[in-house]
Structure 1
Amino acid sequence: MSGRGGVDLVLELTGRAERRHRLLPARAVVCFVLALCLFSSSDSAGLPGYRVVLRTLTEKLRHLPGGIVQRLPTSSALTRARQRLGDKPFQALFERRCGTRATPTTPGA
């Protein structure tokens, strides 16, 4: 789902690609929202907060030399990033990726 056939292309096609450098690039926000969906079904006492999900996603990056991820954005910054992105990229991504993946030779298909 990476590269020109995935998230980057969908962001470009829906007009959501960045026009300026941000702490939360659109591509990262797409990954963050998808992670929120994955974490929402976890068997925890409650839904994890935005920063917990982002911290989990960036845990290993924060320890790399060069400080790729130096600080986490606030929950309100994450909310604004999601609002800027909107739902169009997710609709387009789903439409590009949905469909039958099995072939007649796939076991159980």
Structure 2
Amino acid sequence: MSRHIIPDELASISECLEALAEINVTIESIQIQLDFPDPDRGESWRQSAEYALRVCKKIKCGIDGRLAVLRQLEKKQETAQAQRHNDFLVLELARYVPDVVFRACDYRARIKASSEV
């Protein structure tokens, strides 16, 4: 791991994905070193490597959590943007479509919406 990753400081989904890729490489590297240890390294090295692996796995869990939060936030923002678009679309249609047609469409939309619930 070339830098210390603090999950709560990741501000975007792309930052989370980059950090996740980096931490996965680090975890894999540590795991390979533990699976095929150098005989010249002592037990203290193994303990340090196991500790580093545990820390990296905890950081990965933090990144996963932060990524989930950011994705949910993005989903809410996209939903709000779609709702704003629909609201403006209805207002614009009301200006250009005859009142009778608009009310008929509104009535049918309400019936369809209530039948879906």
Coarse TM-score class (shorter-chain normalised): under 0.3
Bigger radius of gyration among the two = 2
Higher helix share: 2
- TM-score, normalising length: structure 2: 0.26
